[in-house]
Amino acid sequence: MKRIVLFGAPGAGKGSVADLLSVRLSFPTISTGDLVRAEIRGQTEIGRKVQEITARGELVPDPVIIGMLDRRVKQADVKSGYILDGFPRTPAQAQALAALPADEERAVFLDVGEDVVVERLLGRLTCQKCGAIYNRKGKMPAQAGVCNRCGGTVAARSDDNEDSIRQRLQVYLRETQPVIDYYKQKGLLRTIDGVGTVEEVFARLLEALA
């Protein structure tokens, strides 16, 4: 089983290249956010617990996230490998992830400048139901305001304004740098330029994984 971890700031384009890589390798892309939302929608025991945690404004504990991920990677479609989008976010999560089975692990960081990320996020639209991402300057839903994936409402996030975006980026960089350092020290990290068309960035990603 091969594990590919994609890093990058919000708006770096991880989701777009992950989708292309998933098709190329026939690996599923796993987002911990999607796992959390699925548990909540299903009103499972874990889902109800997570809903209570998030309702209090608290972060879902690492053991809960890792438990969800462990169950997901045991499913049949993950037999050959999987792609992680936006996880791990802390060294503790990276160490817990390392305990999950994988014959090979690679990590790629999409390097995108702050001003580029701000411009992208100012045009971002998000499905309020499933979390699918769209953009006014690129990928728009087929029907205005309606998600292609689930039919949910697509709109701009209330905190997608320049001041809030720049603050989130600083928090992201501060929290993620130790994880980047972790993968560097293990000799698993590749950094690629995340600026350009999706096809250009995807070509760099394939080269980094070769």
Residue whose token pair is 């994988």:
102
More confident residue, 101 or 21: 21
Name residues whose C-beta falls within 8 Å of residue 86's C-beta, 6 or more positions apart in sequence: 6, 7, 14, 31, 32, 33
- For residue 25, pLDDT beyond 80: yes
Residue ranges and CATH numbers for the domains of the chain are: 2-113+173-209 (3.40.50.300)
Q: Compute the distance between CA of residue 98 and CA of residue 121 in angstroms, rounded to an integer.
A: 31
The predicted model gives 84-107 an average pLDDT of: 91
More confident residue, 54 or 69: 69
The predicted model gives 44-67 an average pLDDT of: 87
According to DSSP, the β-strands at 104-111 and 81-85 are unpaired
The answer to whether residues 190 and 108 touch, using CB atoms and an 8 Å cutoff, is: yes
Residue of 25, 99, 102 whose CA lies nearest to 67: 99
pLDDT tens column, 146-200: 999 999 999 998 878 899 889 888 888 888 889 999 999 999 999 999 999 999 9
Enzyme catalytic residues: 14, 89, 124, 157, 168
Peptide bond preceding 88: is omega within 30 degrees of 0, i.e. cis? yes
Residue 34's pLDDT band (boundaries 50, 70, 90)?
A: confident
Residue 37's pLDDT band (boundaries 50, 70, 90)?
A: confident
Alpha-carbon radius of gyration of the chain: 17
What is the rounded average pLDDT for all residues in the chain? 91
